[in-house]
Amino acid sequence: MPDVTKTDYIKLFAHRFAILLYLIFSLFPLYWLLKIAVTPDKLLYSEGVKMWPSKLTWVNFELVFTQSEFPTFFINSAIVSSATALLTTLIAAAAGYAFCRFKFRGKLIISALLLITQMFPLVMVLAPIYKIMAPLGLTNSLLGLVIIYTAFNVPFAVFLMQSFFEGIPRDLEESAMVEGCSRFTALRKVIIPLTLPGMAATLGFVFTAAWSEMLFALMLISDSSVSTFPVGLLNFVSKFAVQWGQMMAAGVLALIPACIFFVFIQRYLVQGLTAGAVKG
Amino acid sequence: MASITLNNLSKHFDKTQVLKNINIEMLEGEFVVLVGPSGCGKSTLLRSIAGLEQISGGDIFIGETKVNELAPKDRDISMVFQSYALYPHMSVERNMGFSLEVQKVPKAQIKKIVSEVAESLGLSQLLDRKPKALSGGQRQRVAMGRAIVRHPKAFLFDEPLSNLDAQLRVQMRLEIKALHQRLKSTIVYVTHDQVEAMTLADRIVVLNAGVIQQVGPPLEIYDRPANLFVAGFMGSPSMNFINTQVIMDRGQLCLQTTSGDKLPLVHQYQNLQVGMHISCGIRPEHVSILDSGFGHLQGRVNALEPTGISEQIYCDYQGENLCIYSMQRSGCKENQAIALQLDVHKLHLFSEQTGLRLQQLPDAIAEYKVVSGE
Ligand SMILES: Nc1ncnc2c1ncn2[C@@H]1O[C@H](COP(=O)(O)OP(=O)(O)OP(=O)(O)O)[C@@H](O)[C@H]1O
Ligand SMILES: [Mg+2]
């Protein structure tokens, strides 16, 4: 039946076309970032709206590496983000498991509280948090940032992990327990290997959230030696001019870790989405 | 191998009582089948024995040891789950050797044991596969293999065949039977398949709403069901029940149906009194259709179900649906009036008040005579 295949082709085409449109829409800013990063400063204003500059330059990248504090920011960000991601995932995995498998008093209240924390706009809590952190000496410190980021990411991560644990049939760990495992061994040998995709997803999610966070970083950090990268970007905005080229070059560089991270966890993410579907 | 003894076991979830005063003694090497309708507590009972549910009262003994407080891992019991519960991230080989791996048995030895068991179950070719690349029957076999690699004190099976198609089920049933004969192991087996229960069991335990209804060898349960529930539950097609009252008719005790037909009682029964309301049970295979004459009862055919080997005829008698099971092809048509003959030696009498069986007294069995009708 040729008619059917024809409509099938049209459907396929429409589908792909829609995806393409979406991709162009969402990736265009990134493209612009890259374009400006490689455009020589002189041409920036004369060829501002061209899709591609007539001349390319790497000088912005060079300047970022040699003249700015960008490498420090970069390292700070990497430390803060990975520490936050690790800590959050650990806490969330433990809490998610408990929520999913155990009955305990106050379970409902605790999950309600976790939800409530997600409802406040951050701006509301900025000042109190500063008030708490300052006497503890946690302003101007990476540790302070890690603590705050972890605190703010844990609730959502807990729900995420809980749903991953719930995707694993109880029979599996019960079977392991009958076969001679303690609850902990069953967790280690059966449940954790099966939740790795979920943990990777959580890790990735928290990492990117921490990597691009700016509000708290801006408020808690004033010393540039402990600045993270989003705050560092503002250094390119001086009183007299914005160093667009360098700023964009730094932005491009900042994308790299996130990209690497996602390439790395991507296969777990795909697995994670399908793992729950195949039971037993 | 060990016996399993349940003493006054009870279990409730919050307020709902799921098991009530369960007392069973399962002997060493015995194959005990638990049957009962959905939700009656079979799985809960099995899981209590395994230690996966904390019991609310009573005692569980495995062998001589009281295991009430023992963790599942210390009970030395194998369980096959309905879902098979194979570990999806492990190969068949590791799945099967898992319990040994946990016990830190040397690798080489695990490999040897697993390959022997795999051989006996016809799984040797599949050892490297992951569970998701197996068919239902193969998964079932892996689950069984996993249970038998170590020699546990007892095996628990929770509806292990219910996910398989009919043919495979017959085959696996035979394999399980062979396995039991080979291993001589204590097995507690949950099913709601009649045939599985009848063919596999040394003893059947019939459970309803968390209460044991009857315990006994399969044929005893079939031939002498202890109450209305067991009578109606065991057997497929299930037993017919007719509402009757005991009367004295020309010097003989009879059951009179609501529409006035009489069934002579050829045996003596305990506690039988004139005037009693009796639910009279008769199995479909003990009802036959007469070509001529009136028989005991007259019905009208509702539906016919020929299966090739046999025929089930459903007919209407005083508003009840009576089932007749016949190895002959009757040639009946729907809506045809038919005369039914009951094998009066095979009547089951249950008190309508208590639902309990009226036991047949042994002395009356001596003289068999064909009564009335033909
Ligand atoms: N965790 C639980 N909390 C509350 N009630 C439960 C729980 N587990 C089981 N029940 C109840 O206990 C009863 C017995 O359940 P069980 O699973 O033992 O039934 P079953 O005989 O195995 O049924 P099936 O043949 O459908 O598997 C059911 O009514 C069920 O609703
Ligand atoms: Mg069940």
Backbone angles phi, psi at B222, to 5 degrees: -70, -40
Q: Which tokens in the block code for residue A230?
A: 């989003």
* Ligand 1 in reach of B146 Cβ (< 6 A): no
In chain B, where does DSSP find H-type helix? Answer: 42-50, 92-102, 107-121, 136-148, 166-183, 194-200, 218-223, 228-233
Q: Exposed/middle/buried for B314, CB within 10 Å: 0-12, 13-18, 19+? A: middle
Task: Domain count for chain A, please give it.
Answer: 1
Range of the domain at A254: 69-274
Proportion of chain A above pLDDT 90, given as a percent: 34
Report if residue A157 sits inside a domain.
yes
Q: What whole-number distance in Å separates Cα of residue B77 and Cα of residue B150?
A: 9
The three-point CA angle B10-B16-B22 to 5° equals 20
Tell me if the domain spanning B4-232 has CATH number 3.40.50.300.
yes
* CATH number of A266's domain: 1.10.3720.10
Give the ipTM of the model, two decimals please: 0.82
Strands B154-158 and B187-190 turn out to be parallel
* Ligand 1 in reach of B294 Cβ (< 6 A): no
Position of tokens 């777990």? A268
Q: What whole-number distance in Å separates Cα of residue B45 and Cα of residue B31?
A: 16
B7, B58 Cβ separation under 8 angstroms? yes
Q: Which tokens in the block code for residue A268?
A: 């777990």
Q: Which tokens in the block code for residue A45?
A: 């204003």
Cβ-Cβ contacts under 8 Å, B79 against chain A: 174-175, 178
pLDDT at residue B373, rounded to an integer:
41
Position of tokens 């040397």? B106
Backbone angles phi, psi at B38, to 5 degrees: -60, 135
Q: Which tokens in the block code for residue A166?
A: 């719930």
CB count in 10 Å sphere of residue A74: 20
> Cβ–Cβ of A280/B88 closer than 8 Å?
yes
Q: What whole-number distance in Å separates Cα of residue A278 and Cα of residue A280?
A: 7
The number of C-alpha atoms within 13 Å of B272 and in the hemisphere containing its C-beta is: 26
The residues on B that touch A, with CB distances below 8 Å, are 47, 50-52, 71-73, 75, 77-79, 81, 83-89, 98-99, 102-103, 131-132, 139, 146
Q: Computed over its alpha carbons, how large is the radius of gyration of chain B?
A: 25
In B226-276, where does DSSP find H-type helix? Answer: 228-233
Dihedral over Cα of A88, A89, A95, A100: its sign: positive
Q: What whole-number distance in Å separates Cα of residue B131 and Cα of residue A115?
A: 38
CATH homologous superfamily of B251-351 equals Nucleic acid-binding proteins (2.40.50.140)
Distance from CA of B146 to the nearest CA of A (A): 9
Per-residue pLDDT of chain B (374 residues; tens, 9 = 90+): 899 999 999 999 988 999 999 999 999 999 999 999 999 999 999 999 999 999 999 999 999 999 999 999 999 999 999 889 999 999 999 999 999 999 999 999 999 999 999 998 889 999 999 998 998 889 988 999 999 898 899 999 999 888 888 888 888 899 899 989 988 999 999 998 888 999 999 999 999 999 999 999 999 999 999 999 999 999 989 999 999 999 998 888 999 999 899 999 988 898 899 999 999 999 999 999 998 888 899 999 999 999 999 999 999 998 889 999 999 888 888 999 999 999 999 999 999 999 999 998 875 444 444 444 43
The three-point CA angle A90-A277-A158 to 5° equals 25
Q: What whole-number distance in Å separates Cα of residue B49 and Cα of residue B40?
A: 16
To 10 degrees, the CA torsion angle through A238, A243, A248, A254?
-40
> Cβ–Cβ of B89/A194 closer than 8 Å?
yes
> Cβ–Cβ of B52/A174 closer than 8 Å?
yes
Backbone angles phi, psi at B172, to 5 degrees: -65, -30
Q: B interface mutation test: which of A172, A179, A184 has the most B CBs within 10 A?
A: A179
In one letter, which amino acid is B16? T
Domain boundaries, chain B: 4-232, 251-351
Report if residue A53 sits inside a domain.
no
Q: Which tokens in the block code for residue B316?
A: 């209407």
Q: What whole-number distance in Å separates Cα of residue B92 and Cα of residue B105?
A: 18
pLDDT at residue A226, rounded to an integer:
86
Q: Which tokens in the block code for residue B96?
A: 């099967």
Kindly report, residue by residue over A31-77, the tens digit of the pLDDT: 988 888 888 877 777 776 777 877 888 888 888 888 778 888 889 99
Q: Which residues of chain A have pLDDT under 70?
A: 1-4, 48, 239, 269-280
Closest to A133 (Cα-Cα) out of A226, A212, A217:
A217
Q: How is the beta sheet containing B211-216 ordered, strand by strand?
A: B77-80, B154-158, B187-190, B31-35, B203-208, B211-216
In one letter, which amino acid is B43? S
In one letter, which amino acid is B349? L
Cβ-Cβ contacts under 8 Å, B77 against chain A: 178
Kindly report, residue by residue over A190-202, the tens digit of the pLDDT: 999 988 888 988 8
pLDDT at residue A269, rounded to an integer:
67
Report if residue A4 sits inside a domain.
no
> Cβ–Cβ of B81/A278 closer than 8 Å?
no
CB count in 10 Å sphere of residue A159: 18
Cβ-Cβ contacts under 8 Å, B114 against chain A: none
Prediction pTM value: 0.81
Report if residue A11 sits inside a domain.
no
Q: B interface mutation test: which of A175, A182, A187, A274 has the most B CBs within 10 A?
A: A175
Going by CA atoms, what residue is nearest to atom 3 of ligand 1? Answer: B13
Backbone angles phi, psi at B39, to 5 degrees: 85, 10
**CA separation (Å) from B320 to B131, B299, B314, B336?**
49, 10, 10, 16
Report if residue A218 sits inside a domain.
yes
Cβ-Cβ contacts under 8 Å, A179 against chain B: 73, 78, 98-99, 102, 146
Q: How is the beta sheet containing B4-13 ordered, strand by strand?
A: B16-26, B4-13, B57-62, B65-66
Search chain B and give the residue with CA nearest A172: B85
Strands B287-290 and B65-66 turn out to be unpaired
pLDDT at residue A242, rounded to an integer:
79
* Ligand 1 in reach of B48 Cβ (< 6 A): no
